[in-house]
């Protein structure tokens, strides 16, 4: 079965420090992977998707098929990055599987 694992439930860093939110997936085919974010009192929204290979709000994520990982990284965290982050993968049937999420707190 397809599965997305986010090993860290909580992650805290200081402003300006690098941050990496971990995501591992289990899928035998070619997965389509995403990061979704939910800021306090806002809706869940798409942050980025691996096929776009883009940087959004300073965040990047690289698909590593050898390690089956799709970690989200930012070199210098900002206070406004504090949010809940969900890694998700899409199956060939189109269903999105979400990880349990990582709550990121960036301290001033």
Q: How far is the CB of 68 from other proteins (least distance, A)?
A: 18
Nearer to other proteins, 28 or 42 (CB): 42
Is residue 9 left, alpha or beta, with left meaning phi > 0 and alpha meaning psi from -120 to 50? alpha
Q: Assign 3-state DSSP to the chain and report helix, strand, coil percentages, each to 5.
A: 5, 50, 45
| Footprint on this chain of other proteins (rule: CB under 8 A) | 4, 9, 43-46, 49, 86, 88, 90, 93-96, 98-101
Q: How far is the CB of 25 from other proteins (least distance, A)?
A: 13
Q: How far is the CB of 76 from other proteins (least distance, A)?
A: 27
- Closest by CA to 6, choosing from 97, 95, 93, is 97
């Amino acid at each position: 079965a397809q599965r997305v694992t986010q090993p860290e439930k909580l992650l805290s860093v200081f402003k300006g420090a690098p941050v990496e939110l971990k995501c591992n997936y289990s899928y035998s085919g070619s997965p389509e992977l995403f990061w979704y974010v939910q800021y306090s009192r806002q809706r869940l929204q798409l942050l980025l998707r691996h096929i776009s290979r883009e940087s959004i709000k300073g965040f990047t994520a690289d698909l590593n098929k050898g390690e089956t990982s799709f970690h989200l990284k930012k070199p210098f965290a900002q206070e406004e990055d504090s949010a809940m982050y969900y890694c998700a993968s899409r199956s060939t049937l189109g269903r999105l599987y979400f990880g349990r999420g990582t709550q990121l707190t960036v301290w001033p």
